[in-house]
Structure 1
Amino acid sequence: MKFTIIAAFAATAAAGAAYAEAHASGDAEAGESVYRQCRSCHMIVDADGNDIQKGGKTGPNLYGVFERTAGSVEDFRYSDAMVSAGEAGLAWNEEDFVAYVQDPTGYLREYLDDSSARGKMSYRVRSEEDARDVWAYLVSVGPAPES
């Protein structure tokens, strides 16, 4: 039984890594290391409630962020600007995620064409490479999108 669970986990991890390679330009392994900075605010908990990465609850759960409409995690209180961005069509992809995590408020202001827009995320990922790596990691641990 133990072998079956380990084998299933290994197969899932391999599939996630292959999926990430097809949908992300970063390095998922490096992204896991960079993600440690994100854990103070964000967790990654799968649909069954299993912790992939324990973390804070200041930010929304990042499981399944690929193609998710911005501002749409149930029971999370987003800024009005983030909700408006989602209503305006923002669904997370690598390009938008990388730009957002490097300058959250600036990104929302530009996306919404509203100089008063503000997000709640104050942390900035320092480099584009780190942001791409975190994206690759999140895609690798998330579910395959339905599309």
Structure 2
Amino acid sequence: MFLKTVTAVALTALALPAFAEGDAAAGEKVFNKCKSCHAVGEGAKNKVGPMLNGIVGAEAGKVEDFKYSDALMAKAEEGLVWDEESLTAFLTKPKDYIPGTKMSFNGLRKEEEIANVIAYMATFE
């Protein structure tokens, strides 16, 4: 019994890094929740929210011709970079992560959806 438990824990721990990377194909479906305000891909333009090409790993508040909220710009001045950790926190509850953000979306509830949509956005440079 002990050996089965240790094996299960070890296999779970080994699977976590793969989970963090996400599934870009599944993330494309999740991104449908974002499309009304954001665009990605060739010819992407700002909408209600900024276009998101190159967002993963980018400094916050840098998309040209987009007027960000004062709250987001304050975070940008503090050095916010949209890495996996910050995107995960923001996409979970945008208004908790950046109080005063203009983003009206309440957030994604499932960790898997967040990892997948980040993986999808990462495919757009």
When normalised by structure 2's length, the TM-score is: 0.77
Alpha-carbon deviation of 1:56? 7.1
**What do residues 65-98 of structure 1 show as CA deviations (whole Å, max 9, x unaligned)?**
0221111111111110101111101011111101
What percentage of aligned pairs have identical amino acids?
A: 43
Please give the root-mean-square deviation of Cα atoms over the aligned residues, in Å. Answer: 2.1
- 2:78 aligned to 85, 88, 92, which one? 88
Aligned to 1:120: 102
Instruction: Tell me the distance in 2 between the aligned counterparts of 1:81 and 1:44.
Output: 24
Rate the CA distance shift 1:76–1:56 in 2: closer, same or farther, 3 A: closer
Letter of the 1:59 counterpart: G
Alpha-carbon deviation of 1:126? 2.0
Contact 2:30–2:116 (CA under 8 A) maintained in structure 1: yes
Structure 2: 5+ residue stretches without partners: 1-17
Contact 1:42–1:57 (CA under 8 A) maintained in structure 2: yes
Aligned to 1:37: 33
Q: How many residue pairs get matched? A: 107
Instruction: Tell me the distance in 2 between the aligned counterparts of 1:60 and 1:68.
Output: 13
When normalised by structure 1's length, the TM-score is: 0.66
Structure 1: 5+ residue stretches without partners: 1-21, 109-116
Instruction: Tell me the distance in 2 between the aligned counterparts of 1:62 and 1:129.
Output: 20
Aligned to 1:11: none
Correspondence 1:102 to 2:85: no
Aligned to 1:13: none
Aligned to 1:7: none
Aligned to 2:21: 25
